[in-house]
Structure formats: C-alpha cells, structure tokens
Structure 1
Amino acid sequence: MHRADGARRGSIDTVLRERFGLTDFRPGQREVIEALLGPRAAALAVFPTGGGKSLCYQLPALLLEGITVVVSPLIALMKDQIDALTRQGIRAARLDASLSVDESREVTQALREGSLKLLYVAPERFNNERFTALLRALRIALFAVDEAHCVSEWGHNFRPDYLKLAQAARALSAERILALTATATPSVVRDICQGFGIPEENAVVTGFYRRNLALETTPVHAEDRDALLLERLNSREPGPTIVYVTQQKTAERVAAFLSTEGLPTNAYHAGLESDVRERVQEEWMASTNGIVVATIAFGMGIDKADVRAVYHYNLPKGLESYSQEIGRAGRDGAPSVVELFACPDDVSSLENFAFGDTPTPEALQGLVTELLGQGPELSVDLFALSSRHDVRQLVLRTALTYLELEGVLRQGTPYYAGYKVQPLVSLDALVGRFQGERVQFLRDVFAQAKKGRTWYSLDPAEVAGSLRQPRERVVRALEYLEEQGLVLLQVSDPRQRFTRLRRQEDPKALTDLLDRRFQQREAQEVARVQDVLRLVTHKGCQSNALVAHFGQQREQPCGHCTFCRTGEAQVLPAVRRKPALPAGLDVVAFRALAAKHPEALGQPRQAARFLCGLSSPALTRAKLGGHALFGALEGWPFVEVLDFCCGQPVT
C-alpha cells in the first residue's frame, strides 16, 4: 500500500473513532470516502435506507479545508443531523424558509467567518441570488446532494431544481462532488454519474436486499382492509409501526378507527399544522409501540432503528417508493415485517395523479407563444406564468427544463424584483456613515423607493434604470447596509432569467415536443403502478424480483417473502366496476358551470381534472376547489372521465 494511501486510511479511521464513536464502517462507506479524497474527487453512494449515507459527507467534512454544502429536500433530516453533529462538537447549520431573520443572519455571519463545517440547504435555495453570491466567496470543499435520484428525469421523483445542481456545483468551483440516494435503477445511476461528472468506477451500490424483512403481499378488497389491518396489529408483537396511505383523509379516518380500537395511533400528513406534525413525530420517535398512519410526507430523513412493521394500506406509486418506504423497517437488523395490502381499486386514484399533471396542448401552446414573444432576454414570474396557463408550478418548471435540455433556453441567475428596507437608524445617520459619491447614491436610492410607515419598497431594476446605474450596484448597496446592521432587508417577487439561444424557433414544433415529453412521463408514471401489481403476482421469490428492479441479481430465494412462504403466486381480486358515466353527475349543472368558467373548465382535460378532484392553478383562481361538483367523479379512471368530458359541449 502506498504511504499516502496508508496515511489517509489512518486519518479516516481516527476520525471515525474519535469524532463519531464508531469502530467499523458499514458496507460501502469507506469506498465512497476514499473516492472523495482521491484524485478524481467525485462519488455516488447508492445505499439502502438507513445504510449510513450521511457519514459519507460528515466524516470528510472534518478532514477538508473549507465548507461542506449538503443539499437535501428534507428539513426533518437537516434538523436531526445538525442536532446530532452539535452534540458531537461539530459546527453545522441550515438555511431554510423556517428560520427567522436573526437566525438566518447568524448562519450567514458564521459562513463568512469560516466557523461552520457543514451547511444544509434545500435545492431551491440555489434560486436565491444572494445565497449563491455568498457561496461564491467561500471555499466549497465538498458539494453533497442527497436524494440524488431526483436529478434523473426517469427517476421516481424528478425535480427540475435538481437538474441545476450540477451546474451550480461547477459555478461555485466545488472541489468534490458526492451524490447520495437510497433508490436508483441502473439507468438512474447512469444519469446521476453523467450529470455530476462522477466516474462510473466511483459509483458504489451496496445492494437492496434486506434479509431481516419479512416481505408480505396480501391481495384484498377495499372494504376488508380495516379489519385486516386491525387483525395484523393485534396478532403480531407490538412495536413502532408505520401505516402508509395515499390521501390525507384516509390517514385521518384509519387513525381514528385504530384509536377507537384501543391502539396508540396518530395521523400524520402535510395538511396538519407544523406543530401538530412535530408533536406526532416526536411522540412516535420516543415510543416503543406507537402507530402512525401517514402519507409519504412521513418518514423521510427520520432515523428510528426499531421500526418493527411497515404496512401499505394503499398501493405505493411505484417500486422505488415502495423500496424506500419499507426500508424504514428494521434498521437495527432485528426481524421486522413489511406488508402490502394489494387492492386494485387503488390504481385509478394513483394513475389520476399522473394524468392530472399533464398540461393540455392549449396550455403548452400558450406557454411557448408567450416565452418566444418576449425577445432574446426573458424575465419570468413563475407564479404568474403558472396561473396564466393553468400549469402547476412544478410542471411549469419541468417544461422550462425540457426547453433548456433542447437548447432553446439557457437559465440565468434568478433575482428578486421586490425589496423592502427598514432603516434601523435615521436616514441622515445612515448616509452619514459614507463619503463622497456614495452619500448621494444612497440618498437617491431611498428617494426612488416608496415609503411606508417604517419600510421602503422598491424594485432594484427600476431604481437602477432611473439612476442609470447597474442593478447589481443597488442590490449590493442594500445587502451591505444589512451586513452592517443598519437596515432590515426583505425580498419578494422572485423572477427567473432566461436567454434565448436561437433566433428562430418553430412554436408548433416546440409545443408538440413538450406534449410528447409530458405524455411520455404520464405513461411512465402509470407503468410504475403496474410494476407494483406485477410484484404482488410474481411467480417466484418476490424479494429477488424487487431487488432485480434495481439491478441486483440474487440466485437463491429469500425464504421470507409471501411466495417463498406459500409456494404460490397470488391472484388479485377483480377491480370493482364503476357505474357507467355520468354515474349520477348533474350534467346540466356541470355544463352550466363549465360555460361560466371557460378559463378553468373549457378544455376536456381541465374538466376531467375538476371532476376527479385534481386541483390546478385555474381552478384555484376561479375558487372552484370548494364547489359541490369538485371531485364528483373521484375514484373513476381519469381516462374514462376524460372521454366523457370530450363528448360534453359546454355551450
């Protein structure tokens, strides 16, 4: 072994023992850390849930000069890890929207002073021009991206903001790159490595098979699930349990049912107040037999090793989600059960989410026409653009990302059009801190602003235009005043810059291209649901079939899945046929409503969304989410409702 390699290995082992109190690495951890500290300085860690991904950036952070930036969409993970690092005497912090102005200022100051070793942020934070300017002044020793499967368009949770992270890392001159995820098919692994420039030999995949999990799949009719769940909970050894459901109202209903049966149960979903969610989570974390009935909002980034059971009351939306969710059971290595209640009646509601996200061709045409009509430099208010064209913001960002991938647009630095400034001293005292031309410049900036009782409001671009100064000078002056403690500063009205890369574009060709891409994504999301059903009815070891989806091949059957236990492939119950449409819908009232709101219900896909209970910006703007007919055909297959709406004239 080379002397330098031996010294590096010794340093890694010493930090592991002295700072983290551990004597051995888990599978894959050493390989990832050594790859990061090696000459090619980039790695991908595909470890199962609970496999120790966080150590792969926390340990190197203590060996490297500079800051380690950790990008994660999970505030719960950020909080838990920062608390744990603080107890170990390691300086770490986060920047997110939940922090107060004073808390954000403290973190910013610590970054400038170089006293932090790790900074946790969400991917959307890189849309903040003030934040990216701050990072450009720092030495980024390591840029770590958690949930990295989100960078892949073909992953199960594609997020457009993730596509920008590789570019952000390069722009910030990050010295090392680490991507981490618990679920990645071989094609997603290739996407991640290509996007972040990670050598294929530095992709460390430890495998997905969990020998301590009894993998059960049970075909069931919808009306029998409550009784089946109750029987399972009463007949098995009690222990911390998660019951996953699809909808918030299901979480509330099932939790109430189990509570009336004397079981210690709480509901958890994104619709609860944050303090309620926090209380439920803390009680469950501290419990030895607590049950939480939750949507997928629960569990991500939560480290509880002794979860004894995970039940899927509803079908998961795909095998990637399923693998991640069952991975929260038995992290301590003790036997645990994961059981999927396989009810085909769930398929329609899961597919409807995918169908509901697909924009109408008319919306895409309007979007493309507006973007191409703005000239070579675009300044986009994403919220307003989303509302005008009835495209959800996440879907809109995906469409803009597609246009970037096609070489139509190049995204620039986002900025804020709205600034509010509150001087903490008199204006005379404030400008009195400066000399020469800067005194008049500051007076002119405040003179151009609209003065309220204590706050000044301004658009830096408008002020800069009036003063014939660069916008950047106005922004930098306001930021400097904030840094010096002379003003409070608030920003609003985010705008996204884009540059047209070609002079001529064919609007119809671009519209057709976007439509094809969204149709392809829709078909892929629908196929994911069918993958789950195929696992249930698989004629062979289901554990092996599950890990094969992620590229891992096992020769021997597991011996602890439903097929191995029974020796029989399962048969799904028949889908309950819905009554023929319109199935009790008040068609006359619906036509009248559609005629009254053509901007929200004028297109068949818009009308189908409304009847299936799927919201959209136009429905929200028209305040139709609370209408008696909203969701009148919820549970019917979207395709059938769409066909029905295609035959319904609104005039």
Structure 2
Amino acid sequence: MSTATLERKPVMMDRANEVLKEVFGFDGYRPGQEQAIRQLLAGHSSVAIFPTGSGKSLCYQLPAILLDGLTVVISPLIALMKDQIDFLQAKNICAARLDSSLDRAEAVQVYDDLRSGRTRLLYVSPERLANERFLQLLAQQKIALLAVDEAHCISAWGHNFRPDYLRIADLAKRLNVERVLALTATATPEVVDDIAEAFSVEPEHVVHTGFYRANLEINVTACDDRERHRVLVKKLSSHRGEPAIVYVTLQKTAEQVSAFLKDKGFNARAYHAGMKTEERTKVQEDFMAADDMIVVATIAFGMGIDKADIRGVYHFNLPKSLESYQQEIGRAGRDGKPAVCEMLACRDDLVTLENFSYGDTPTEEGVRELTRELLAGRDEIEVSVYDLSGRHDVRDLVVKTLLTYLELEGVLQSTGPKYTEYKFQPLRPSQTILEQFNAERADFLRSIFKLARKGKTWLTIDVAAASERLSESRERIVAALDYLDQRGDILLQASGVRFGYRVVKRVADLEDLVRTMQEKFEQREEQDIARLRKVVSLVECPGCYTRYLLDYFGEDRDDCGHCGRCQGNPQQTLPRAQYSKITDRDRAVVNQLQAEHSPALRSPRQIARFLCGIKSPASTRAKLGKHRDFGRMDRVPFAEVLELAKSVVGEP
C-alpha cells in the first residue's frame, strides 16, 4: 500500500465521522459499521454479516457520499428501495431507483441524472441486470461501489439461492467495479465463505457482529393441529393491542387465520402474494401506521419493512429453515425493547414443507430433455427461460438453476442478456427526427425504421435480423433506439428477453452430465429436507433455544437466560402427525384427472404436484389452481401421492 494511501485513510475516516453527524444525525456507529466503512474507504471489498435491523444500509450510504463515482445497490426489496431513497433525498443526497413501478417520465429523469453524473446512489433489483439497455448505461459509468443486499442468495448451497445473484460477481469484474460490499443477515460459515470467494474478499475484511439479540425472547409451543388456533389466541391475548406478525406457509392459511383472529376481536389482516398489489400496499401502509395491528402473512411480508415497534413474531406454521426463522424473528423489537418470538410447532407442517421441496425437484427425464436442447450442437445459443419452462413444465427457477450448474461445470459461459424485439412508437414525424442528425446517421436511422413492422400504434423490429440485414452490430442498433427514446423522439419498449451462452466444453457423454446435474438437484433437495430437520431439532432441543440457534450460524455463546427453556419451560416433543391416508376416492380422482386429458396433467409427477397443491408452469397456464381437486391431498406425503399416480397412469 502506497504512502499516499496510508495518509489518506485517516483523513477519509475523519470526513466520514463528520458526515455521520452532519448528514445522518448520528453521534456514533453501531457495532461493525465503522469497520466496514473503514475498509471500503481504504479501497477493499468487504462482507458484512449483521443481524436484521442493525444498520447495514449506513455501511454503503455513507461511503457513497465520499467516494468518487456511482454507488449501485442491488436489492430484491422494492419497499426498502423506496424507504431509503425517501430518506436520502430528504438529506439532499441524489439517490434513485430503477424498477417496474416508475412511469416513463420518472425513468427518463433517472437516466438523465445518471448520464449527467448527478446520481450518487442507484438502487436496482437483481433482475434489472438482465436489461440490455441498462447494462450498456452502467458500462459508461465509473462505479466506485457495488453494494449487494441479501448476498447469501449468491451461494448455490445456501437456503435461498437465486441464480440471478451468481452473475453479479462476474458483472462486477466486467464493469470494473472498484469495491464491493456484500451484505446479509443470515449466513452460515459455509455460505459466508462462498460470498467472500465470489467477490474476492480477504478473510480479514469479513465483518461479523454476531446474531445475538438480547431483547428477543424465543419460545416454542409444541401443539396438535386441532388446538393450534386456540393456542395462538391465548399467546396473542397476553400481548393484546401490540403490533405483531403471524407467519404462515400457505396463502389460504393467511386468509383463514386472519378471519379467525378478526372474529376473536383482534385487528388482523391477511397478506400474501395472491393479493392484488394495491391490496398488499394498503395492508403494509396500515401496519406501519397502526399500533395494534396483526398481519397474518406468508414469507412475502416483512422484507424491507422498517417498523421498529413490532412486539411479537409468531410462527403459526413451522419455518422452512433456521435461516428463514432467524431472518423473520429479526423483524421483532428493532427499537431494542423486549419482543416475543413464539413458534407453534406442529408436525403436520412437515408434510406441506417437504412436499414443496420434493415437488420442485425435476425428474431425470426433464433434466435430460433440457440439457439436450441446450447442447444441441451450436457454439452460441440464446435461450428464453420462459419458453424452456413452459415447454418442459418446470419452474423458471429450476431452468435458471440448471443453466447456472452448467456454468459451474464449465460447459456454458454466459454472454449476457439480450432482447429479441424492440417496439417503438414515434412521438414526432420521422422527417423531424431524422433532420436532427448528419447524413450518415440519418441514413442509418432511416434503415432501422424501414425494417420495422408496422402495427396499429407500435412499430416492431427484430434486432438480430436487423443486425444481419444492415451489417451493423446489435449494440449500435439498440444504442440508437435508446438514444431516441431518451430524447423523447420515440417511446421504446423491449420484449422477449433471452440469455446468451457460449458452449465452451463439448460433452462426450451426455448421460454422465445429466446424472451429474440430477445429483446436484437431488443434493439440494436433501439439503432442504436437512434444514427442515434442523428446525425440528430446535423445537426439541434439551437446552437454550438461543444458544442452539446461534450455534447453527457458527456463533459460540453461553445460555441466554431469557428464552423459554432458560426460563424453565419443559423440553418439547412434536406430537405425532395426523397425516391423511389415501382413499378409494383419491384413486377415483386420479382416474378422472387422466380422463380429462389436460395437457398439464399428463405425467404422474404433474398429477402428484397438482394433488399436493404445487403449481407448475403448465398448470398455471391451464388455470388449474381453481380446479375442485387442486391440493386435495396436500396433507399426504408427496412420495405416496406420486406412487398413487404412477399406479394409475403408469411409469413415465
């Protein structure tokens, strides 16, 4: 490290301390914040593992003010983006977001501010990285800092792997990002190592403050499914009039439990992904404003919700993993005051949670067909995840994961996302647009216009075909259209996103590769089931709940002294599950489903998913979620339902 750099470090931290007080209004740092900020200002990339609500955002917001260049924040939480931007703009810091909720005028302003260099922080979702136009714009920026929220999603073996995240590390290199800050509130030591390796973070630049929260009282009540509603009312009645979240697994459970609580006099509302956006927004806003409201929600609720006075988080259903549990209870008591974290543990939930894991695992036949199509002989391929998902009736996440596995195997190399079509609506006469440019550029634009297919309102152009016809790069064509859009000459929309790959290794034995891919999916399934077993182990652990939970995340602590077990509650044992048995009527239903000849219910696995209440691309398109028998066997183990379907339909 140069002498100039060593001299600059204390000066930068002096200025950081001033900004902390003058801009953010804080007299001091929370644990871990100063260390992370110091590392970033010194030019190092860092991983920060802080508990939920412990001030992770300051670790990139403060450096963004001091660093020379743009700070890009990647976050899946639109609610978090909006709240943080409102906060920063109130401090006269130029911050913006790019997401689907912006109208045209707002989006144009964001792009103008970026090009001019006014923007200090830009918030985007991981999916935005599949936007060709956006990536071209980013390539023109000096990116001083890339902050990656929910960074545990980058780990292929983490509890919430998202293939879109795995490309972030490669993108950071291609965009010459100067430093990266990876942030997470839930990561085991193995996942932390994955994150650090992906972003080339040295061990001494990993900041871990620990997960312990002294104000959270963790308790577990093992109960039978038939008494669970009564137990929930009893627990909530002890804290009546306090804001709380009740987490459930299924959307229909959210509706049922919220109605039950309303009937008992509680101010309760449901929240789940099946509700309209405006309904969810209203529930969220009402919850933020109320001091006695209970939200009964699926895991979709709470991400990015910064309500400090939540006094209780109740799990009506078992969480799917300890990572999910740690994140969800972290939303309680952010004001530092005591809060209750209560889990109503019922073994019946295991069937539903296991079924979702088993049901999402593709068959070897499905993996074979997908792999064969991807490696059909061309050296350069472009794929539509949506088309592949529909053609093979596997969730788009499974398709993305397979593509990622093939990248990790060194078979494919990503060449980036592209749109197949652009459509535009002229806002001015063509001649008026063209006369603004010199002869060469005007001729180029005129050629693009001539190749566009005319519709009633929009003109559509196939960019690949236009590139070939004009002997021009697609990048120049897209840049020209984007420029006209930003000038207000046309209204531009892109469609048909496709992901490009280069086949870098030809596979001599396709079956061997298919087996390797299938083993990865099965290994992931086994890990999901193992995580669920860890939840059961927490319920039945003989000692301190807090100590058991922290040990899972690699943190060694003594007994907390304030959880249910430490306060003298007896060790719990999950009651025997009341699994449903397969009946003659169920067999008759399978026969009837086969007789209906639905294209979405051709194979035993498709039928088993349908009966267990697990949607697939084909069943969704066929609107089978409203079918009278959808989910009728959701309390029967998936393996048994699959065997029933095979016995009626036959082996695939």
Place the TM-score, normalised by the shorter chain, in its bin: over 0.9
| 8 Å CA contact retained: 2:69, 2:144 | yes
Matches within 5 A, 1:339-488: 339-488=342-491
1:545 corresponds in structure 2 to 548
- Per the TM alignment, residue 237 of structure 1 is displaced from its structure 2 partner at its CA by 5.4
Matches of 2:174 and 2:490, distance apart in 1: 30
DSSP 3-state at the match of 1:584: helix
| 8 Å CA contact retained: 2:76, 2:126 | yes
Matches of 1:252 and 1:613, distance apart in 2: 16
| 8 Å CA contact retained: 2:245, 2:295 | yes
- Per the TM alignment, residue 291 of structure 1 is displaced from its structure 2 partner at its CA by 1.0
1:565 corresponds in structure 2 to 567
- Per the TM alignment, residue 203 of structure 1 is displaced from its structure 2 partner at its CA by 0.7
Aligned length: 647
| 8 Å CA contact retained: 1:582, 1:644 | no
The root-mean-square deviation of aligned C-alpha atoms, in Å, is 1.7
Matches within 5 A, 1:173-322: 173-236=176-239, 238-322=241-325
2:340 corresponds in structure 1 to 337
TM-score by length of 2: 0.96
| 8 Å CA contact retained: 2:348, 2:579 | no
Matches of 2:622 and 2:245, distance apart in 1: 38
Matches of 1:577 and 1:372, distance apart in 2: 43
**C-alpha distance after superposition, 1:406-431 (max 9, x if no partner):** 01101112111111111111112222
Matches of 1:154 and 1:267, distance apart in 2: 32
1:636 corresponds in structure 2 to 636
Report the more deviating stretch, 141-150 or 560-569. Answer: 560-569
- Per the TM alignment, residue 597 of structure 1 is displaced from its structure 2 partner at its CA by 3.9
Matches of 2:631 and 2:138, distance apart in 1: 46
Q: 1:465 to 1:320 in 2, by over 3 A?
A: same
DSSP 3-state at the match of 2:207: strand
Structure 1: 5+ residue stretches without partners: none
Matches of 1:494 and 1:577, distance apart in 2: 44
Report the more deviating stretch, 569-578 or 345-354. Answer: 569-578
1:29 corresponds in structure 2 to 33
Structure 2: 5+ residue stretches without partners: none
- Per the TM alignment, residue 479 of structure 1 is displaced from its structure 2 partner at its CA by 1.5
Matches of 1:573 and 1:471, distance apart in 2: 62
1:13 paired with 2:14, answer no
| 8 Å CA contact retained: 1:594, 1:650 | no
Matches of 1:627 and 1:147, distance apart in 2: 36
Letter paired with 1:452: G
Matches of 2:385 and 2:237, distance apart in 1: 50
Matches of 1:5 and 1:117, distance apart in 2: 21
**C-alpha distance after superposition, 1:260-317 (max 9, x if no partner):** 2221111111111111111111111111221111111111111111111110011001
Letter paired with 1:20: F
Q: 1:589 to 1:277 in 2, by over 3 A?
A: closer
TM-score by length of 1: 0.97
2:515 corresponds in structure 1 to 512
1:523 corresponds in structure 2 to 526
Matches of 1:622 and 1:424, distance apart in 2: 39
| 8 Å CA contact retained: 2:417, 2:497 | yes
DSSP 3-state at the match of 1:412: strand
- Per the TM alignment, residue 567 of structure 1 is displaced from its structure 2 partner at its CA by 5.6
DSSP 3-state at the match of 1:648: helix
Matches of 1:87 and 1:623, distance apart in 2: 46
Matches of 1:285 and 1:8, distance apart in 2: 37
Report the more deviating stretch, 20-29 or 424-433. Answer: 424-433
| 8 Å CA contact retained: 1:547, 1:553 | yes
**C-alpha distance after superposition, 1:103-126 (max 9, x if no partner):** 111101100011111000001111
**C-alpha distance after superposition, 1:366-423 (max 9, x if no partner):** 1111111151110111111111111110110001000000011011121111111111
**C-alpha distance after superposition, 1:302-346 (max 9, x if no partner):** 111111111001100110000010011111111111100000110
DSSP 3-state at the match of 1:344: coil
- Per the TM alignment, residue 592 of structure 1 is displaced from its structure 2 partner at its CA by 4.8
| 8 Å CA contact retained: 2:154, 2:163 | yes
Same amino acid, percent of matched pairs: 51
Q: 1:601 to 1:505 in 2, by over 3 A?
A: farther
DSSP 3-state at the match of 1:178: strand
Matches of 2:540 and 2:26, distance apart in 1: 42
Letter paired with 1:517: K
DSSP 3-state at the match of 1:414: strand
1:575 corresponds in structure 2 to 577
Letter paired with 1:37: L
2:95 to 80, 92, 95: 92
DSSP 3-state at the match of 1:20: coil
Matches of 1:244 and 1:119, distance apart in 2: 32
Matches of 1:594 and 1:108, distance apart in 2: 53
1:609 corresponds in structure 2 to 609
Letter paired with 1:10: D
Matches of 1:256 and 1:620, distance apart in 2: 27
Report the more deviating stretch, 222-231 or 460-469. Answer: 460-469
**C-alpha distance after superposition, 1:185-230 (max 9, x if no partner):** 0000000000111111111111111111111100011121111111
Matches of 1:165 and 1:642, distance apart in 2: 38
Matches of 2:78 and 2:91, distance apart in 1: 20
| 8 Å CA contact retained: 2:98, 2:122 | yes
Matches of 2:57 and 2:359, distance apart in 1: 35
Matches of 2:404 and 2:371, distance apart in 1: 13
Matches of 1:287 and 1:598, distance apart in 2: 47
| 8 Å CA contact retained: 2:544, 2:560 | yes
Aligned structure 1 segments of 4 or more residues deviating by more than 6 angstroms: none
Matches of 1:142 and 1:387, distance apart in 2: 38
- Per the TM alignment, residue 540 of structure 1 is displaced from its structure 2 partner at its CA by 0.9
Q: 1:270 to 1:623 in 2, by over 3 A?
A: closer
Report the more deviating stretch, 422-431 or 560-569. Answer: 560-569
DSSP 3-state at the match of 2:273: coil
**C-alpha distance after superposition, 1:503-544 (max 9, x if no partner):** 344221121111111111111111111111100110111110
| 8 Å CA contact retained: 1:255, 1:267 | yes
Matches of 2:118 and 2:55, distance apart in 1: 26
**C-alpha distance after superposition, 1:140-193 (max 9, x if no partner):** 010000000000112111000000001111111111100000011000000000
| 8 Å CA contact retained: 2:590, 2:648 | no
2:160 corresponds in structure 1 to 157
Letter paired with 1:253: Q
1:584 corresponds in structure 2 to 585
1:535 paired with 2:538, answer yes
